[in-house]
């Protein structure tokens, strides 16, 4: 399998490719990790683990009995490549990928609207 050292053009809406390179094999831009499935947005909640970030994703759930939406949210563990620097409170875009560990099935693609 070829190792992708070049920057891949993922064409994610609202996300620009990172300006720095990295050697992370599980990087969607520089590694061999493929993003497939859903693309979600969320807020960074914790970045304490190495190469991992906890993202809070908010969404609307339609309650049929009361015929209105309610706000729900879930925490998603996402892999954080070395080339993407985030801090708590950042709005990020994450993409679904293959399971990288027991709880990590998403990868951070970049800061929304940022570089
Ligand atoms: Zn990278």
> What confidence tens digit (pLDDT) does each residue in 38-93 have?
999 999 999 999 999 999 999 999 999 999 999 999 999 999 999 999 999 999 99
* Ligand 1: centre distance to CA 73 (Å): 28
* Ligand 1: centre distance to CA 2 (Å): 16
- What's the rounded mean pLDDT across residues 98-112? 95
Confidence at residue 5, expressed as pLDDT on a 0 to 100 scale:
61
Contact indicator for 112, 14 with CB cutoff of 8 Å:
yes
Q: State the distance between the two ends of the chain, measured CA to CA, in whole angstroms.
A: 29
Confidence at residue 51, expressed as pLDDT on a 0 to 100 scale:
94
Q: Across the chain, what does the average pLDDT equal?
A: 91
CATH architecture group of domain 35-111: Beta Barrel (2.40)
Instruction: Tell me: pLDDT of 32 over 80.
Output: yes
Instruction: Tell me: pLDDT of 1 over 50.
Output: no
Confidence at residue 11, expressed as pLDDT on a 0 to 100 scale:
80
* Ligand 1: centre distance to CA 22 (Å): 4
Q: What percent of the chain has pLDDT over 90?
A: 78
What are the structural domain ranges in the chain? 35-111
Closest CA to 87 of 114, 53, 113: 53
Alpha carbon distances (Å) from 63 to 20, 43, 57, 74, 91: 44, 24, 19, 17, 27
Confidence at residue 97, expressed as pLDDT on a 0 to 100 scale:
96
* Ligand 1: centre distance to CA 25 (Å): 8
DSSP letters of the chain? -----SPP----TT-PPPSS----TT-TTTSSPPEEEEEEEEEEEE--STTEEEEEEEEEEEETTTTEEEEEEEEEEEE--TT----TT-EEEEEEES--SSS--EEEEEETT--
- What's the rounded mean pLDDT across residues 1-11? 65
* Ligand 1: centre distance to CA 112 (Å): 16
């Amino acid at each position: 399998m070829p190792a992708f050292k070049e920057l891949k053009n993922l064409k994610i809406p609202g996300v620009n490719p990172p300006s720095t390179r990295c050697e992370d094999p599980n990087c969607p831009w520089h590694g061999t990790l493929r993003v497939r499935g859903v693309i979600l947005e969320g807020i960074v909640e914790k970045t304490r683990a190495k190469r991992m970030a906890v993202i809070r994703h908010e969404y609307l759930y339609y309650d049929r009995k009361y015929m209105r939406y309610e706000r729900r949210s879930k925490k998603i563990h996402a892999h954080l490549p070395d080339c993407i620097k985030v801090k708590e409170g950042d709005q990020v875009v994450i993409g679904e990928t293959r399971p990288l560990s027991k709880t990590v099935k998403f990868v951070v693609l970049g800061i929304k609207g940022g570089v």
